[in-house]
Structure 1
């Protein structure tokens, strides 16, 4: 019988060689492989290895202290390609001070790029990014002076007399994923995770380039005891499995709590038990925004005031079932957690993959979007990417 290769987190860190491109899959601290990330940091601090890494990530992956913050050491990562660093102060400092090569690409385009790479394509074409700072005729997503002289990682192409952005492939050497259970073959579930994310596309992208897939799990069960429909990644695609030794600290469902079954769809809590948002200026702004809602509207909530407040207001007002709230992570309905726990919700009606949600947003599109912003121009132009030296990223 096929058997998974079970190793320690320290051994997993030793599998990451100098100069590798590493791709962790998570959002905020949801699904972050903390055991492995901590060991990578420990190894670099003690030995100076692994060094010269390229860090590729679609979502922001931190709660201001953990997640990919563990990799924010000068010399450890040579290049970062990501979308959002608003909850990653060490990365923002390194980017602002040109201590790392830094490219910012749209979050959804990175998530979907994994799928394009997985199926053998050299990259991904999209209208998303045209005319923005991502456009190579503007800045090419280059976030500091160190990066500006470097080659573009996006192109402009023409198809059927129309312009498109072309996001180039980024071959993956090591993909880090997290699951709830795996069996003795390594077949992995994500049943207690609060998001589905883009786990399988990232895994298959890594395998396409001969990369290594390392999974962190809570528990191992007997082969054949997992419902095949619950398997997120077949064990044949996973090279190494790390069983978390301290799940209360390193395998939390999200930053603020270890596990709550109402955030992964296992139970529902009474709507009246969900605490209302306190009245302040943030609630005042969001409440005015919700007056624009109409029956049947499909809504997207961005980070900041929208995600933190709109769902709670709709629940208080008893209109949650008259609209459909969505978040980029792939959740539908319910009441969203906020702040460092962005992207998850209680009492959801549905949950799809992160990359699949971006298919919807890029394609059909929602009826109403509530956006967070840093700066707003007189013409309605929004900047949420870089305020002075603060490099939050586009998301």
Structure 2
């Protein structure tokens, strides 16, 4: 192992290389090395023609703001990348990566997060490829879109095969020439430690795939330590496979907040008594979660609002988990958890989820159609990608999809009389056919899943005949506020229930705030 600066590290990346980059959002991301690669290309025109593999979108954005000229956006230059394979993109269509995709500056493929890390591990294991049933019947299925995002992605990267009578999507492996990874610290032997990280997010998969392909591993760390300074169980990548280390102090202090890395526990501030439609949806979900359930939370209302609704209700019996790896505790924006209890590696998370480990998954929806299909990956001019969504819905048997019935300028009042729609949203989120199938309702029914769609106006369930409204919000009219906002027929249950009025009143579910 040798210590180099970011510019020297960038010179180790050859033209035409396939590089695997760790991280998600702004965490566990080798930002200084990514920046140096982009700067080298801007001044020298090299390295070019790269294939970039990443488990998730990398950009330094907060609350949906910022992120331009950071992370993978730095690499979105014509000639620098030939191809990118990632589970998610920027939530902003104006950020460089999404603009480059729209302009066909490089080929873009959108595969599930768990599939990408398992594919990297298959390469590390010397296997010819990865065969998985995850994604059949969705846009990832080669018979539909094959995960191809733009016209430049004309070459298929997968095929459907028969394995002992079971259909599988098969992804042939390919060598990884360079891994760019991020760790908290490195010791004098090059061993990499993660004692100040909220999760590891595929770092080991990137490193093993590169090393076992005959490639190199370059790490960015925040500090150097002596051997023995950090417990070996905090180590994840052995120094014997690390070729170079770049030392770069972390610019954002809260990235290594001990309350989200597990180094400390804290008494959390009381949950907010905010009373927006998204809070109503979160409370309606919490009300239906079984006692003692292990619950996966996806991005959006599930990860941001459901934990706070659960804390307000005193539901410390719920064991939350998020796809980035935190287990237990109270999740929040960014896939981290406060007062977490342990952290799974990325491989283990998705093996657990795909096998149906958690009792329940709570996920957002972008669109829902007449069949009950859900789209979270491409809608309304946005290209967020699927993230780990497809892996999650594959295995977990009880699913809740959350969102408001309409969006775009929606104004609603919640209170003691229930729900009042002041200004209807411009965009209907229930549509005849989704733009892209991220969740296949027919496949879910065949697998015996229980599926509930939780909205501000009412609760729907998936049946063999499509959607059925079985509970309605007090204070609204069935035809005017629900059925007229859904452009396809929806069955109304004969015993239509009224949602609990307590869900519409801020603080009504209050118990002692769970910590």
Find the counterpart in structure 1 of residue 377 from structure 2: 385
Secondary structure of 2:35's aligned partner: helix
Secondary structure of 2:167's aligned partner: strand
Counting only pairs closer than 5 Å after superposition, residues 25-174 of structure 1 correspond to structure 2 as 25-62=22-59, 63=61, 64-65=67-68, 66-87=70-91, 89-148=95-154, 150=155, 152-174=156-178
Counting only pairs closer than 5 Å after superposition, residues 292-371 of structure 1 correspond to structure 2 as 292-319=288-315, 321-338=316-333, 342-371=334-363
Counting only pairs closer than 5 Å after superposition, residues 176-255 of structure 1 correspond to structure 2 as 176-244=180-248, 247-249=249-251, 252=252
TM-superposed deviation, 1:388: 4.9
TM-superposed deviation, 1:52: 1.0
Per-residue CA deviation, residues 265-318 of structure 1 (Å, 9 max, x unaligned), is 1111113x2543733222122221222111121111111111111111111221
TM-superposed deviation, 1:19: 1.0
Find the counterpart in structure 1 of residue 275 from structure 2: 279
Per-residue CA deviation, residues 160-215 of structure 1 (Å, 9 max, x unaligned), is 21111112213211101111111111011010011022222221111111111000
TM-superposed deviation, 1:144: 1.2
Question: Which structure 2 residue ranges, 5 or more long, are not aligned?
Answer: 62-66, 388-515
Matches of 2:273 and 2:90, distance apart in 1: 23
Root mean square deviation of aligned Cα:
1.6
Matches of 1:302 and 1:227, distance apart in 2: 32
Matches of 2:211 and 2:85, distance apart in 1: 20
TM-score, scaled relative to structure 2: 0.71
Find the counterpart in structure 1 of residue 438 from structure 2: none
Q: Which runs of 4+ in 1 moved over 4 A?
A: none
Per-residue CA deviation, residues 103-134 of structure 1 (Å, 9 max, x unaligned), is 11111110111221111111111110111111
Of Structure 1 and Structure 2, which has the larger fraction of its residues in strand? 2
Q: Is contact 2:198–2:256 with CA below 8 Å preserved after alignment?
A: no
Matches of 1:259 and 1:351, distance apart in 2: 14
Q: Is contact 1:21–1:171 with CA below 8 Å preserved after alignment?
A: yes
Matches of 2:256 and 2:354, distance apart in 1: 32
TM-superposed deviation, 1:260: 1.2
Matches of 2:23 and 2:195, distance apart in 1: 15
Matches of 1:274 and 1:218, distance apart in 2: 33
Question: Which structure 1 residue ranges, 5 or more long, are not aligned?
Answer: none
Secondary structure of 1:218's aligned partner: strand
Q: Is contact 2:91–2:382 with CA below 8 Å preserved after alignment?
A: no
Per-residue CA deviation, residues 247-278 of structure 1 (Å, 9 max, x unaligned), is 242xx46xxx343110101111113x254373
Matches of 1:236 and 1:208, distance apart in 2: 12
Does 2:292 match 1:288?
no
Matches of 1:268 and 1:183, distance apart in 2: 27
Secondary structure of 1:288's aligned partner: helix
Q: Is contact 2:48–2:80 with CA below 8 Å preserved after alignment?
A: yes
Matches of 1:114 and 1:169, distance apart in 2: 8
Matches of 1:332 and 1:222, distance apart in 2: 30
Distance 1:281 1:108, change over 3 A: same
TM-superposed deviation, 1:228: 2.3
Matches of 2:283 and 2:370, distance apart in 1: 23
Q: Is contact 1:183–1:226 with CA below 8 Å preserved after alignment?
A: no
TM-score, scaled relative to structure 1: 0.92
Find the counterpart in structure 1 of residue 364 from structure 2: 372
Q: Is contact 1:311–1:334 with CA below 8 Å preserved after alignment?
A: no
Matches of 2:381 and 2:328, distance apart in 1: 36
Q: Is contact 1:184–1:221 with CA below 8 Å preserved after alignment?
A: yes
Secondary structure of 1:291's aligned partner: helix
**RCO higher in 1 or 2 (8 Å CA, sep ≥ 6)?**
1
